[in-house]
Structures are given as C-alpha cells and as structure tokens.
Amino acid sequence: MQILPDKQTDQNLIKLLKANSNNFHFNQTQIKQRLLQSIRQTPQAAVRIPFRWILEYGSAVALIIILATATFGFAANSNPGDKFFPINKWGEQVILSLPLNDQTIAQIHTNIVNKRLRALTKLENEENQQAQETPAINNRRLITVKESHETLSAAITTITAQKEALRASDNSESINALNQVLTRLENLAKQQEEKIEAIESHTQNDQVREEIEDQLKQIHEVRNQVYQESKIQGKSIDNEEN
C-alpha cells in the first residue's frame, strides 16, 4: 500500500468529497436523534459511596452540628464580657435581620434590652460580694454598661423610624402598639440608669468612673428622647379627638 505525502493526501480527500457532494445529505434532526439514542443506550457507571466514608464523614458532620448547637446554647445565656457573648450578639443581629413585621422586631429589641438589664443586675450583685477592684472587673463594668446603652439606643432608633413610616400610611393601630413598646423601653432605661449608678458608686478607678458617667448621660438622653416622642404622640391624639 502506497502512503501519499500529506499535501497530496489532502488534495485527494478534497477530490473525493467534491465527487460525492451530490449524494451527501446533511440532516441535522436525524443526527441529533441518533446521538441522543446512542447516549441513552450507553451504560452509565453507577456511583457508589463506600459505607466506610458514610460512617467517617457522617459522624464528622453530626459532631459539627452537635458542637454548633451546644455553642449557641451556651452563648444564648452569656453576658457582656463573657467568652461566648460575641456569638450571642451575632445571633441577636441575625434574628433582627429577618423579614419580620414591625411589632415583632420591636418586641425582639425590647427583649434584648431586658437581657442587658439582667446583665447589669447580675454585675451589681457580684460587686456587692467583692471587696477588691481588679482590671478584669472594671473591663466587665465598661463592656456591660456600653452594651446596655447601645442596645437601648438601637431599639429606640428603630422603633421611632417604624413609627414615622406608619404615620405616612396612617396606621394608628400599629402606631399605638409601638407606643406601648416605647413606654416599656422608657421604664427599662430608668432601671438601667439606677443599676449603672450603683455600679458607678462601687468603681474606684477615676478613668473608668468617667467612662461609666459618659454612658450614663447618653442613656439619660435616649430616655428623654422616648419621653419627648410620647409627648408628641399624646398631642397628636388630642388633636385628632378635638
């Protein structure tokens, strides 16, 4: 058999194609159907996962879930200054970011503020049993007071904005419900002030006392904001009745 050079082979192939072009019919539909039929008839290799892998990796996933659940369980009961508190705070923000209605969001904010008040109460009780001031105690004081102020301020800012949006839609029922929440927050703010004043009285470090005093002033301003908001709402109700 004679092997032709590459160039000559190409020329001969071109001649053959030209000679048979009249008898060649390209049917796209038939070719597609044949390809699909060929794929269906081709046996597919079954993917099997070894049972050993299921035991190993399944146990690992289960362990991760158990550890995560336990971690969030511990974090939910943690207070400012505790090791797991950042996880607790992150979980609160995740819940607040959910697409919930205004009243539910307002209630969640109130619950968080109430949790910070309990943390202040716990800190006050612990200080009554401790005779010596330490840097760790002062750090916990500052963190607890700061978190109390921040959560209270965030709650009132959010609910006030919700009320403004509801005023535009003239939804008086929802506005009244939010006013009740603000009244509850004002009461919690008053209790926060009392607890922080007690904590401040136990603090001997001048710099820490100044920082606590600054946070206390800001809480008082936020509380006054709620009071002014309730007065505005009271006047608007009187105007509607008249």
Question: Residue 170 above 90 pLDDT?
Answer: no
Question: From CA 127, how far away is CA 81, in angstroms rounded?
Answer: 15
Per-residue pLDDT at 88: 86
Quickly count helices (H) and strands (E) in the chain: 8, 0
Instruction: Tell whether pTM > 0.85.
Output: no
> Does residue 1 surpass a pLDDT of 50?
no
Is residue 166 over pLDDT 50?
Answer: yes
- CA distances to 1, 4, 16, 22, 180 from 10, rounded to whole Å, are 17, 9, 10, 20, 90
Q: Give the model confidence (pLDDT) of 38-73 as tens digits.
A: 555 555 555 455 555 544 555 454 444 444 444 455
Distance (Å, whole) CA 149 – CA 164: 23
Lowest mean pLDDT among 143-147, 211-215, 238-242: 238-242
- Write 160-168 long-range contacts (CB < 8 A, 24+): 160/225, 160/229, 162/102, 162/105, 162/106, 163/229, 163/233, 166/102
